[in-house]
Structure 1
Amino acid sequence: MVESGVRAALSGATSTAVDDYLKTIYSHTEWQPDPITPSQLAARLGLAPSSVTEMVKKLAAAGLVDHRPYSAITLTADGERRALAMLRRHRLIESWLVRVHGYGWDEVDEEAEVLEHAISDRLLDAIDAQLGHPERDPHGDLIPSAAGDLTRPDAVRLDAAPFGFAGSVVRISDRDPDTLRVLDRLGIALDALLRVAEEPAESAGVSIVRATGGPVVISPSVAASVWLERSIRA
């Protein structure tokens, strides 16, 4: 009875669209605390605000999100479970494409978007086993367990880190492939050791010292894509 009510509330919405909405809502608050607004959700999905408003109403009626007019959108427990299941699929597929099929980390997002809706649970479990049950994807985003469990590191975004902060890279946003290519050229990848310089950069940007490669100044937008966990080794 409950399942039929959910289907009725989501009438006209494809499961792919529902999953994409839930995944985007969850991802927005994964590394920062502020819930997503309808306008932010529309921008992230590249959709008209009116279309997003209609879908959010359906998701709320299905018990997958909480939302009141003119307020932010949050996931219910059911919505979060479904979002985590899709993120598990997406991130395992990204890891599989990089580690087994030789894709670059800047090439996998769109491919995973297609495959995550197509492969069976059996194949997903086989991929997970083949990769040795990884806990993070090529960008450092956490891969939920089959039960939806994950443990997030205590990390700070590089552009918000104080002068002298030293740490290892634990996450790099994959929203902009060009940024990933810039970081590749700079030798900044997961687990790289970085230290924010003691003094501000002379030009706009963030001055950092790399364990390998020496000092460099990176743009604010690139710095905003990197998360560090404090490390005594850096």
Structure 2
Amino acid sequence: MLDKSKIPNLKVIAFDADDTLFINETYFDETEKKFCGLMEDYLSHQGISKELFKIEIDNLKLYGYGIKGYILSMIEAAMNISNNTIPVEVIEKIIRYGKELLEKPIVLLDGVEETLESLYGRYKLIVATKGDLLDQRRKLHNSGLGHYFHHIEVMSDKQEVDYLDLIKRLEIKPEEFFMIGNSLKSDVLPVLAIGGHAVHIPFHTTWAHEKIDHKVEHKNFKALNTITEVLPLLEL
């Protein structure tokens, strides 16, 4: 568990964006259900989801994370599932689903603004998130939260090396870095591995790629239920 006495020199608090500050995965789930309904004449919904997920993972090295890569993966999945017989009208619908996903409203999660207001001015606050640069900056701008953050980092991935690069540019030590996010795989494990501090705040739905199958136990780790619980953890 995280011991407050262990972080007297804490300088930077980083927040993941999607499903930590505002809703994201819920919209992807809704889009996937529509995609499965569109393709259900070819395969079961379970089979369609499995094929789409496989293609998404295969394409990460080319497209990275984000909605635009997801749109391309849906089109590729539709072509594979239909054996390249999918009508152009279906492709048009998939593109429309993607555009609708890009235009979803920004819904802040409970307690987010209250927490940022309490931390603002006490620590350097940043966003450290994955995804498409343009889309993530748009969401942060539309969220109305941008003024709380000193820096916004849209990362191609969240591996140890990515966090080390970020910490180097912030000119701090790993033990002065505190990460808050909903993904144990991306927001917690790599940060703990480099000597930082991490908090996990689960969201009710998580992309399969971000799930892990073991419990996290580390002196610099804390699992919370809501983002507001960060405040008493930092004695605020």
* TM tier relative to shorter chain: under 0.3
TM superposition score normalised by structure 2: 0.26
Is the helix fraction higher in 1 or 2? 2
- Where relative contact order (Cα < 8 A, 6+ residues apart) is larger, the structure is 2
